[in-house]
Amino acid sequence: MSAIAMKTWVRVAGVDAFPLGGGTCAKVGDQQIAIFNTSQKSAWFACENRCPHRGDMVLGRGLTGDLNGEPKVACPHHKKAFSLKTGQCLTGEDYCVQTFPVKVEDDAVFVQIAV
């Protein structure tokens, strides 16, 4: 029988640590997570920092935007685009990234991870 993973909210940093319209990578638990403060209504998203195409830890430096209304990040090396909502690849390839819930409370950014 496998154990059920518990989830917890982890404070990452103050909101001023994240550029509007861009991303930053943070170590959360034992994972590198890319956190984005998008310019779309100041919506926040988080996904793993690793691009699954080649394994590079670069998504936090990726280009954010949207594709037909879907918020996305594009790998700065390979230009593969991923949905910031679902993690699915938006450029036709069979890749995906893990996404994480994000919340902002009292000017601090929190990410929910499994522990």
Q: How far apart are CA 13 and CA 28, in angstroms?
A: 10
Tell me if 24 is assigned to some domain: yes
**Under 8 Å between Cβ of 58 and 18:** no
Residue 104 lies in a domain: yes
pLDDT at 1: 47
Over residues 34-85, the pLDDT tens digits come to 999 987 667 899 999 999 988 999 999 999 998 888 999 999 998 899 999 9
Structure confidence at residue 3 as a pLDDT band (50, 70, 90) = low
What is the count of structural domains for the chain?
A: 1
Q: Is residue 46 part of a domain?
A: yes
81 inside domain: yes
Task: Give the model confidence (pLDDT) of 4-20 as tens digits.
Answer: 779 999 999 999 999 88
Whether residue 27 lies inside any domain: the answer is yes
Enter the DSSP assignment of 115. Answer: -
The residue count of the chain comes to 115
Report pLDDT digits (tens) over 16-42. Answer: 999 888 899 999 988 999 999 987 667
> Per the domain annotation, does 3 fall within a domain?
no
Domain with 96 in it: 16-114
In a domain, 107, yes or no: yes
Which of 99, 62, 57, 100 has the alpha carbon at shortest distance from 80? Answer: 62
Residue 73 sits in a domain whose CATH number is 2.102.10.10
User: 99 to each of 1, 2, 39, 52, 73, how far by Cα in Å?
Assistant: 26, 22, 18, 13, 12
Instruction: Give 97's pLDDT tier (boundaries 50, 70, 90).
Output: very high
Whether the Cβ atoms of residue 48 and residue 60 lie closer than 8 Å to each other: no
Q: Which amino acid is at 31?
A: Q
pLDDT value of position 115: 84
More confident residue, 62 or 1: 62
Task: For residue 36, give both structure tokens.
Answer: 């984005």
